Amino acid sequence: MSDCIFCKIVTGEIPAKKLYEDDEVVAFWDIAPQAPVHFLVIPKKHLAAPVDVTEQDDQVIGKMIRVGARLAAENGVADGFRVIFNNGKKAGQVVFHIHMHIIGGREKPWPM
């Protein structure tokens, strides 16, 4: 997808502070963190949103969760973090390349 900012992060066309990368996924720090630890895990393959995931993506979605949980632990929030996929504008999705938020380290109680 030539016009997708997260595809451009995958290719390196747009810089990002990457925590992890392999042939299928990339993890990078969110540019506008909502908590002390806030990073995103994405598949290198362009999928717009969770609703676009098909059976052939099952493996990579599982890997995103596994990698995200490991990176959460490495960044000190193994005891509590949120794993969030937003789907659609109404749910607050603004970037239409599927991404998993890992958010942790908040001192205040979590809203919802």
Q: How far apart are CA 84 and CA 27, in angstroms?
A: 14
Which residues within the stretch 11-70 sit at the binding site for ligand 5GP (CB under 6 A)?
A: 14, 16, 28-32, 40
Nearest distance in Å: CB 37, ligand 5GP: 13
Q: Which of 22, 2, 112, 4 is nearest to 70 (CA)?
A: 22
Q: Do residues 16 and 4 make contact, with C-beta atoms less than 8 angstroms apart? A: no
- Here the tokens at position 11 are 């290719």
Which residues within the stretch 77-96 sit at the binding site for ligand 5GP (CB under 6 A)?
A: 86, 92-95
Residues that are catalytic: 99
Where does this chain bind ligand 5GP (CB under 6 A)?
A: 5, 14, 16, 28-32, 40, 86, 92-95
